[in-house]
Amino acid sequence: MSAPFYKLGAFGDEASLIVAFLIGIGFGFFLERAGFGSAKKLVSQFYLNDLAVFKVMFTAIVTAMLGVTYLSWAGFLDLSLVYLVPTYWVAQVVGGLVLGVGFVVGGYCPGTSVAATATGRLDGLVFVVGFAAGTLGFALVFPLVKGLYAAGDIGTRTLPEVLGIPYGILVFGVVLMAVGGFMGATWVERKMATRAVPAKATE
């Protein structure tokens, strides 16, 4: 086992910040290259005429999942050391809805708004200012929403545990879901392309 590198002490706290910086640059670069620096492209997702967001994100998930599976199968990665975000299902459902509404209304999600700002888009910058203010506001009212913050705490759960399905079969299931999703998404895009598109008409 030689990974995760940070957990096994391959580098310290300071070096971990540099690594995070480099990975962040890579992440931003690929977001921009996927066209996600544009609110129009992102919001097309919700009008079903361009499902690139869905495809890119699901591709990333499947790629990472297969990579992690094979690295740990090969004995290179110790999966038990990979940090898992605990499940607070009530808080996460509410948070997901807030993020979704913000995504449709603002045209960005936090990561893509930074990528958009970097390419000089004013709407991206406004969005960044907005979410910085929102973060600050959340911190200020935190005592009031503390109960919600940790609502639905069921600890760290993984799908193989919860569903009682062996890890490998679950991996295959997710790949099937992704490939099926891509085919479905392409079909939907073709279907919607033949109709008038309100989002593009108003721009």
Partner 1 sequence: MRFIPKLTLNQKLGVFALALGALAVFANVAPGHTVKVNAKELLTSVGRAEDHVTPAELAAWIVEGRSDYRLIDIRDEKSFAEYHIPTAENVPLATVLDGALGRTDKIVIYGDGGIHAAQAWMVLRGRGFAQVYTLLEGLDAWKDEVLFPVMPQTASPEEQARFERAVQVAKFFGGQPRAAAAPGSEPMALPTQALAPAVTPPTLPAGAGGGPKKKREGC
Rounded to a whole number of angstroms, the CA Rg of the chain reads 20
Stretch that binds partner 1, among 21-29, 78-86, 138-146, 189-197 (CB under 8 A): 78-86
Q: Per-residue string for binding with partner 1, 129-168, x by CB under 8 A?
A: -------------------------------------xxx
25-53 burial: b if 16+ Cβ within 10 Å, else e: eeebeebbebbbbbbebbbbbeebbbbbb
Please identify which residue in 14, 83, 144, 194 interacts with partner 1, judged by CB under 8 A: 83
Answer whether 31's CB lies under 8 Å from 37's CB.
yes
171 binds partner 1 (CB under 8 A): yes
Q: Which of 35, 130, 182, 197 binds partner 1 (CB under 8 A)?
A: 182
To the nearest 10°, report the CA torsion of 77, 81, 83, 89. Answer: 110
Q: Taking the C-alpha atoms of 114, 118, 123 and 125 in order, what is their torsion angle to the nearest 10 degrees?
A: 70
User: How many residues interact with partner 1 (rule CB under 8 A)?
Assistant: 32
Among 73, 89, 138, 142, binds partner 1 (CB under 8 A): 73
Q: What is the rounded distance in angstroms from the CA atom of residue 47 to the CA atom of residue 10? A: 46
Binding site for partner 1 (CB under 8 A): 1, 7-9, 13, 62-63, 66, 69-70, 72-73, 75, 78-83, 85, 166-169, 171-172, 174-176, 178-179, 182
